[in-house]
Amino acid sequence: MHELALTENILATITERLGDARVVRVRLEIGRLMAVLPDAMRFAFAVCTKDTSLDGARLEIDEVAARGRCRDCASELALDGVVALCPCGSADVELLAGQELQIKEVEVA
């Protein structure tokens, strides 16, 4: 379950920046290609924040759809997996979105 490792990284970043400040809400932006399961992420978050300054904080997840642009015909396409194939037949697709993993907002009490 890589959600646990991701959550630990995120929490380390937050506590590094904010110290012991009481956090009540965290909003993350996660690209679909990161293969993160929101429910698993919420579970990992609840487990990892227990008895920390983030205990009880609400986790919000904004999922970002994957998009790419074909380098051959320049059309933009929605991607539903890691294999990108343009309707023109080209697999030379530049990734525009879908690999995000960012902390968008942290609300401190």
Residues making contact with Zn ion (CB under 5 A)? 70, 72-73, 86, 88, 90
Cβ 77 to Zn ion shortest distance, Å: 8
Cβ 70 to Zn ion shortest distance, Å: 3
Beta bridge partners of 94: 69
CB nearer to Zn ion: pick between 57 and 79: 79
Cβ 95 to Zn ion shortest distance, Å: 14
CB nearer to Zn ion: pick between 5 and 88: 88
Q: How far is CA 14 from the centre of its chain?
A: 15
DSSP output for 26-70: EEEEEEGGG---HHHHHHHHHHHHTTSTTTT-EEEEEEE-EEEEE
CB nearer to Zn ion: pick between 36 and 70: 70
Q: Residue 69, Cβ neighbours under 10 Å: how many?
A: 16
